[in-house]
């Protein structure tokens, strides 16, 4: 059975359960669809494994064995397609339409997210440049940027060999790339790092963007007592 046919049959089984007035067993579901009980059993077990239906055991009212029935779980089907890229395009398009303030709005969002994605050190402790760069590289790696630091343990540049938002960056680079830069700045500020991200060169190399790091201004490095 092809994947598309299996998916269509599984949805048909789920639709039968959703329209039934009471929980159904394997034989009843198979009869309503007009297929073999073993086929229905396979799909019911798969739906149960996906969390879309729930098994229940009904005790018999008289002599006989307990009966297993299935009921759909409430809630939307989480197995459907997602359109997060469309949502991102809608939001970026709305920000871009604000005109001169668009870049600063994107960077403000990036800094806020950067701060939220790291755990600051204890107030009595200041991280070293090496520790700060390591935390930043770890964050970028977790976000899917495939970072490649250049210049030892305290790099002055980080190559970003993968962009997790590549298509959006190609379409809205004037917003997405500054947002990435601000995200790094926000993370380093929250870490009270003696470093900051000063620039991000989009597609500086055929296979990478370049993030530049430099010592943070004194007021930035000491903004948290």
Tell me what pLDDT residue 218 has. Answer: 67
Spell out where 81-218 has E strands.
Answer: 147-150, 157-160, 195-205, 208-215
Give the contacts of 215 (CB within 8 A, at least 6 positions apart): 129, 194, 195, 196
Q: How confident is the model at residue 79 (pLDDT cuts 50, 70, 90)?
A: low
Which of 16-30, 187-201, 208-222 is predicted with the least confidence, judged by mean pLDDT?
208-222
String of DSSP letters for 136-154: HHHHHHHHT--EEEESTTS
Please check the confidence at residue 220 and state whether its pLDDT lies above 70: no
Please check the confidence at residue 6 and state whether its pLDDT lies above 90: no
Tell me which range, 6-15, 36-45, 177-186, is most confidently predicted by mean pLDDT.
177-186
Entry pTM = 0.69
pLDDT in tens, 128-147: 999 999 999 999 999 999 99
Q: How confident is the model at residue 219 (pLDDT cuts 50, 70, 90)?
A: very low
Question: Which residues are bridge partners to 54 per DSSP?
Answer: 71
Give the contacts of 6 (CB within 8 A, at least 6 positions apart): 43
Give the contacts of 149 (CB within 8 A, at least 6 positions apart): 133, 137, 155, 157, 158, 159
The radius of gyration of the chain's CA atoms, rounded to the nearest angstrom, is 27
Q: Of 13, 27, 28, which Cα lies nearest the Cα of 77?
A: 13
């Amino acid at each position: 059975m092809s994947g598309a046919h299996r998916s269509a049959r599984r949805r048909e089984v789920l639709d039968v359960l959703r329209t039934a007035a009471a929980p159904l067993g394997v034989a009843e579901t198979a009869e309503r669809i007009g297929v073999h009980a073993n086929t229905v059993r396979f799909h019911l077990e798969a739906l149960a494994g996906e969390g879309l239906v729930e098994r229940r055991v009904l005790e018999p009212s008289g002599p006989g064995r307990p009966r297993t029935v299935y009921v759909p779980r409430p809630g939307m089907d989480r197995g459907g397609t997602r359109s997060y890229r469309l949502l991102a395009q809608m939001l970026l398009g709305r920000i871009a339409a604000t005109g001169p303030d668009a870049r600063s709005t994107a960077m403000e969002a990036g800094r806020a997210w950067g701060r939220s994605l790291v755990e600051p050190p204890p107030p009595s402790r200041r991280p070293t440049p090496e520790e700060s760069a390591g935390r930043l590289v770890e964050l970028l790696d977790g976000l899917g940027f495939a970072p490649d630091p250049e210049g030892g343990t305290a790099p002055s540049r980080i190559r970003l060999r993968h962009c997790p938002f590549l298509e959006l960056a190609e379409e809205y680079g004037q917003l997405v790339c500054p947002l990435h830069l601000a995200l790094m700045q926000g993370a380093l500020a929250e870490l009270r790092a003696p470093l900051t991200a000063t620039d991000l060169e989009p597609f500086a190399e055929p296979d990478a963007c370049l993030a530049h790091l430099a010592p943070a201004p004194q007021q930035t490095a000491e903004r948290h007592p």
